[in-house]
Amino acid sequence: MSQSEIVLTIENVDHLALYGENNTKLNVLRKAYPNTTISSRGSQLRITGEKKSTQEVKNKVELMVKILRDNKDLPVQTVEDLIHGENPYQLHTNIDNKTVLVHGRDGKVIYAKTKNQILLVNAVEQNDVVFAIGPAGTGKTYTAVALAVRALKNREVKKIILTRPAVEAGENLGFLPGDLKEKIDPYLRPLYDALDDMIPAERLSQYIENRVIEIAPLAFMRGRTLDHAFIILDEAQNSTTLQMKMFLTRLGPSAKCIITGDLSQVDLPYHQKSGLKHASHILKRIHGISTIELSIDDVVRHRLVKDILKAYDDNHPRKEKLTTEEE
């Protein structure tokens, strides 16, 4: 086989961010292409080996550089996705203003990454209530929070309300140690994590202190009218039918709402029906309400998550089919 050598000059990017600490990302490439030698010195990256492999490595590196420049971020997982040909970011060549949701901390571009995430964004723009249903890792919560932050930044709403049912404690949180905030924070941590990606820490603290952003258990919504707000009910599969009715009837005339959940992870007692499944079924024909179903193909976590979900699905061939329709 013919041998070749390619020398790339890489400028205007942080080499540590590109190659990883201790060359972790470069080592991913080296492991994937053992018949090539990849070495870096200064702004130059030297690739030697069989001609086809060196060209492939060159293409991967150029994509890595483009992703880092566009997104100000290049996780190791993204490099692995590129190598395995499972790039949920669509190689970052199709990103445009229609898919960009918000610019997060340090200039990070947050955008809809999959076909169904884009459908979710479109559904929210056209409807006041949207159900986003799908398995773990499909970006339901993250996309919903990004849309809420965008609406707040664009002054389309005055506040963001994020809520989840604290099912594991039956929403009776008294037996947990600490004050009220310490009791409920573990259940709401995923919402804080998403916000941390999108809003600088100091400003986020101010928003929470001033109640521009409110994060609370579902039980705390009772008796309120939620208006001029972008509201997200997360983990809604763990709401009961009565809780879901209570929540939906809190909406004011200028409210926007996304309800997310995974019908394969219902933690309610056996005798209780999921409010998410019930509501998405009985409300599906109402104008202004839309349902988007995400699938394993939308998973944007570690590449193994897709395989894990598929293995669980395959291992339960006789289980109830988890759809938004009642039997």
Please, where in the chain does CATH 3.40.50.300 lie?
97-314
**pLDDT higher than 90, residue 187:** no
Q: For residues 113 and 92, what is the distance between their CA atoms, to the nearest angstrom?
A: 9
Q: What is the mean pLDDT of the chain?
A: 83
pLDDT at residue 94 in the model: 46
Partner residues linked to 109 by β-bridges: 103
Q: What's the CATH code, domain 3-91?
A: 3.30.1370.10
Section 234-241 average pLDDT: 93
Q: For residues 33 and 58, what is the distance between their CA atoms, to the nearest angstrom?
A: 11
Give the rounded percent of residues in the chain with a pLDDT score beyond 70: 83
Instruction: Give 108's pLDDT tier (boundaries 50, 70, 90).
Output: confident
**pLDDT higher than 50, residue 207:** yes
pLDDT at residue 322 in the model: 43
Instruction: Give 170's pLDDT tier (boundaries 50, 70, 90).
Output: very low
**pLDDT higher than 60, residue 176:** no
**pLDDT higher than 90, residue 125:** yes
- Other beta carbons less than 10 A from residue 189's beta carbon: 12
Q: Dihedral of CA 88/90/91/93: which sign?
A: negative
**pLDDT higher than 90, residue 146:** yes
Identify the residue whose tokens are 């004011």. Answer: 252
Instruction: Give 132's pLDDT tier (boundaries 50, 70, 90).
Output: very high
Q: Encode pLDDT of 247-277 as tens digits.
A: 999 999 999 999 999 998 888 888 889 999 9
Based on DSSP, count helices (H) and strands (E) in the chain, helices before strands: 11, 11
pLDDT at residue 327 in the model: 39
Q: What is the dihedral of CA 61, 67, 72, 76, to 10 degrees?
A: -60
DSSP 221: G
- More confident of the two residues 113 and 17: 17
Q: What is the third-level CATH fold of 97-314?
A: Rossmann fold (3.40.50)
**Those residues with Cβ within 8 angstroms of residue 154's Cβ, 6 or more apart along the chain or in another chain:** none
pLDDT at residue 318 in the model: 45
Tell me which residue of 256, 176, 278 sits closest to 217, measured CA to CA: 176
CA gyration radius for the chain?
23
Give the least confident one: 102-106, 148-152, 159-163, 274-278: 102-106
**pLDDT higher than 70, residue 319:** no
Section 163-168 average pLDDT: 76
pLDDT at residue 236 in the model: 94
CA angle 192, 196, 197 (to 5 degrees): 125
Q: Encode pLDDT of 91-101 as tens digits.
A: 444 445 456 78
- More confident of the two residues 170 and 177: 177
Query: How far apart, in Å, are the Cα atoms of 108 and each of 68, 70, 77, 100?
Result: 10, 8, 16, 11
Q: Which contacts qualify for 210-215: CB closer than 8 Å, 24 or more apart?
A: 211/159, 212/152, 212/158, 212/159, 212/160, 213/152, 213/159, 213/160, 213/162, 214/159, 214/160, 214/161, 214/162, 215/162, 215/163, 215/188, 215/191
Please, where in the chain does CATH 3.30.1370.10 lie?
3-91
Partner residues linked to 291 by β-bridges: 131
**pLDDT higher than 50, residue 141:** yes
Give the least confident one: 65-69, 262-266, 304-308: 304-308
Section 187-207 average pLDDT: 87
Give the rounded percent of residues in the chain with a pLDDT score beyond 90: 43
Give the least confident one: 15-24, 100-109, 111-120: 100-109
Q: Which two tokens stand for residue 137?
A: 């890792």
Q: Is there a contact between 191 and 218 (Cβ–Cβ < 8 Å)?
A: no
Instruction: Give 168's pLDDT tier (boundaries 50, 70, 90).
Output: low
Q: For residues 206 and 204, what is the distance between their CA atoms, to the nearest angstrom?
A: 5
Question: Distance between alpha carbon 263 and the CA centroid of its chain, in Å?
Answer: 17
